[in-house]
Amino acid sequence: MKKVSKHIIFYFSLFLLIGSVKAQDLHYSQYFNAPLFVNPANTGFDPAHDYRVGGNYRDQWPSFGSPYETMGVWGDVQLFNERFENGWVGLGGSLMKDVAGSGSLTSTRGIVSVAYHQVIGLNSLLSGGFGIGMVNKRVDLTKLTFNDQWNGQFFDSKLSSNEPFVYSSVYYFDLQAGVNYAYFASDNVYLNAGFSVSHLNHPKESFYASDNLIDQLPFRYTAFLNSNIKIQNLWILNPNLYVSKMSTAWEIVGGMNASRNLSGDGTNQLILGLYYRSNDALIPMVGYQLNDLKITVNYDATISSLGAYNGTNGAYEISIIKSGIYGSGDKSTKATKCPKGVSF
């Protein structure tokens, strides 16, 4: 019994530790390569292209028996460029799925977002966006064991758990809104900042038949700062910072990636980066861009106390983004209403 108690204490401590990192919504280390997941005002926010499609995959804590897998696809387009003299509309959608733990706790969410982008003066752009989505949370209760199923020697799944579960699957609507501001200082310097709020409708998320306010999701606040700085025609430096808060849980990620012009005209780029998630992980990154196709991978090396249990194997992540222009696909033919930002 003493041995079992130690195991229970270990897993309970591990649950609390994981909870401190994962208490927020689903997330990616490459948040800048998943723009629609970060802020609905990012929908259609790409002055140099007419459309974007992307995919992200994250495998977290693979050294544990039941790792966390997060995957998503997204896409957006620019609309009504010809109807608005100094602005345009962005329309997009995203689908995200996360599977976690031995109980296969699965979260699936689909969101449709729309944004309006307004040119201000000669070198500023202000955007506002709104998103509405449907979320499904489900768990396989047959894969879980509870205190009351301990028979003195082992956990017997045939015994009643005495847990007040009413649902193994729940659905709810989720609303989000955000703003985005961009300043094109010159052909070599670009600044961008955004702020968004998720769970505006305080949706209820519980597998119990409870009307407690504690079952309502609190607001999630997300802010980011971003800059592109071109050095001659060889490098584009991209320092950025991401901050998110949900209830008492914080996530802060900061660092920089840099694109090296390998071809002279920017059609071939090597991407190198290094990021830090506060009190959690160091995140090296590498990628390659060929024309309008970009592939980036990163590795989260755990530096928190969880590293003693997972051998610093935090997470592996990959993102793929394809951008394009309607018709000829030539960037030089695209008429933009503001500077295209920093590019080779």
pLDDT of residue 190: 92
Q: Which two tokens stand for residue 271?
A: 């991407």
In a domain, 338, yes or no: no
Q: Which of 6-15, 27-36, 204-213, 267-276 has the highest mean pLDDT?
A: 267-276
In a domain, 343, yes or no: no
In a domain, 146, yes or no: yes
Which residue's structure tokens are 């995200």?
A: 96
* CATH (domain of 84): 2.40.160.40
pLDDT category of residue 18 using cuts at 50, 70 and 90: very low
Confidence check: pLDDT of 41 > 50: yes
Confidence check: pLDDT of 5 > 80: no
In a domain, 339, yes or no: no
For the chain, how many structural domains are there in total?
Answer: 1
Question: Is 169 in contact with 156 (CB distance < 8 Å)?
Answer: no
Average pLDDT over residues 228-256: 95
91-105, 120-134, 183-197, 229-243: range with lowest mean pLDDT: 91-105
In a domain, 86, yes or no: yes
- Structure confidence by residue, pLDDT tens digits, 59-73: 986 655 566 889 999
Q: Is 61 left (phi over 0), alpha (psi -120 to 50) or beta?
A: left
305: three-class secondary structure by DSSP: coil
In a domain, 18, yes or no: yes
Confidence check: pLDDT of 111 > 80: yes
In a domain, 246, yes or no: yes
In percent, the amount of the chain with pLDDT more than 70 equals: 76
Query: Which residue range(s) make up the domain with 270?
Result: 2-333
Confidence check: pLDDT of 205 > 80: yes
pLDDT of residue 15: 39
Question: Is 251 in contact with 19 (CB distance < 8 Å)?
Answer: no
pLDDT category of residue 329 using cuts at 50, 70 and 90: low
